[in-house]
């Protein structure tokens, strides 16, 4: 009786709240354990669905559902949600999900829970997620943990959040791993513990979660829960940049460059230049110069060109910038739409050919560094 009452309460949400803003349900991996006839109809339905023949899929899944197949009931609900093979009808989808739930189908429990959550029916969402979580659904465990974190449909309870995140993470949910890390990092529902936070951020990072990668980089850079390691911090921020786009990718790349710069050991300042602007230094770039032109080669492939040695030593604004690459002793500078050949000589000098109509032989400055403007 209690189970039937629960279904009635859940179904009421469809008639009261409306579903016009519901996110369309996508089918989750599903299998059927039933009679041979039901299994055949279920498989034929899945085959038709995967081939985009939704009318045929609806026909087969309706047949299997009529024989009591919970997985097919779930698929019928999915098709009503999306309007595949039938007119879109969210209340009908809800009815089919409830039938599937009565058969113990955890996919239906999770999907219905997500539909309720998307429409802010959090109490009903929590009930659905809890049913799916109790059947071992890792995604539902993570969603239920989030409801406890925000106090949506259930009392706010960080300890409960940690409990459900841990259960989900133990089943391999990468977002839950990151969530556990955040709780330890912030001291929510558990004592603050940076070492434990880093362990969970690392687990999430290893599964490709960008936020996890960023937190690992940050903690290495700041020495939180681990010995400070600028090189590792740079590596992780670079990984985050490669997995991101737009402003986020740029910000992560800039942070990687910042930590990469800090990772380079400082070299002593030449005594002959003590007191000049060279005394404020970075270890990157390498400098080559003559009395008329100077080049600053940065480790990330950029080159800055200065119009005179005095400008270079004073840290003045460069004439221009471009990129460079080396292949052994020779390479190229790409600058202002032109290419110039460069070569390293046995005496430690650098030759730049055909720049401004002539070849240049430049001396290397290796004992000090400049401030990049």
Residue 168, CB half-sphere, CA atoms under 13 Å: how many? 29
Q: In Å, how far are 88, 123, 151, 251, 362 from 97, measured between CA atoms?
A: 15, 17, 25, 43, 75
Q: Please report which residue ranges of 18-119 form alpha helices under DSSP H.
A: 36-50, 54-66, 70-82, 90-102, 106-118
**List of domains in the chain:** 2-135 (1.25.40.10), 136-263 (1.25.40.10), 271-365 (2.40.128)
Q: Is residue 99 very low, low, confident or very high in pLDDT (cuts 50, 70, 90)?
A: very high
Asked whether the beta carbons of 156 and 150 are under 8 A apart, the reply is: yes
- pLDDT tens sequence across 32-84: 555 677 889 999 999 999 999 999 999 999 999 999 999 999 999 999 999 99
Q: What is the pLDDT of residue 6?
A: 42
- pLDDT tens sequence across 128-155: 999 999 999 999 999 999 999 999 999 9
pTM above 0.95, yes or no: no
């Amino acid at each position: 009786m209690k189970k039937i009452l629960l279904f009635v309460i859940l179904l009421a949400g469809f008639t009261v709240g409306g579903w016009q803003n519901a996110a369309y349900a996508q089918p989750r991996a599903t299998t059927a354990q039933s009679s041979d006839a039901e299994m055949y109809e279920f498989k034929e339905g899945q085959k038709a669905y995967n081939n985009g023949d939704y009318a045929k899929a609806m026909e087969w899944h309706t047949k299997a559902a009529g024989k009591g197949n919970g997985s097919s009931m779930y698929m019928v609900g999915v098709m009503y949600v999306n309007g595949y093979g039938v007119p879109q009808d969210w209340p009908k989808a809800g009815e089919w999900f409830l039938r599937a739930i009565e058969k113990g189908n955890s996919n239906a429990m999770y999907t219905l829970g997500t539909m309720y959550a998307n429409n802010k029916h959090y109490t009903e969402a929590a009930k659905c997620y809890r049913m799916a979580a109790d059947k071992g659904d890792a995604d539902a465990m993570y969603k239920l943990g989030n409801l406890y974190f925000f106090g949506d449909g259930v009392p706010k309870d960080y300890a409960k959040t940690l409990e459900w995140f841990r259960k989900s993470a133990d089943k391999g949910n990468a977002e839950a791993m990151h969530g556990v890390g955040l709780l330890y990092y912030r001291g929510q529902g558990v004592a603050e513990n940076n070492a434990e936070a880093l362990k969970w951020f690392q687990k999430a990072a290893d599964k490709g979660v960008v936020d996890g990668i960023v937190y690992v980089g940050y903690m290495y850079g700041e020495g939180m829960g681990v010995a400070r390691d600028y090189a590792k911090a740079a590596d992780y921020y670079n990984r985050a940049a490669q997995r991101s786009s737009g402003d986020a990718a740029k910000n992560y790349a800039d942070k990687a460059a910042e930590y990469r710069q800090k990772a380079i050991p400082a070299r002593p300042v030449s005594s002959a230049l003590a007191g000049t602007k060279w005394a404020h230094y970075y270890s990157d770039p390498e400098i080559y110069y003559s009395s008329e032109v100077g080049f600053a080669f940065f480790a990330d492939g950029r080159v800055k060109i200065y119009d005179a040695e005095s400008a270079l030593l004073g840290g003045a604004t460069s004439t221009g910038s471009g990129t460079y690459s080396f292949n052994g002793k020779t390479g190229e500078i790409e600058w202002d739409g032109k290419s110039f050949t460069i070569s390293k000589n046995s005496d430690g000098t650098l030759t730049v050919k055909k720049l401004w109509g002539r070849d240049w032989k430049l001396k290397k400055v290796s004992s000090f560094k400049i401030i990049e403007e």
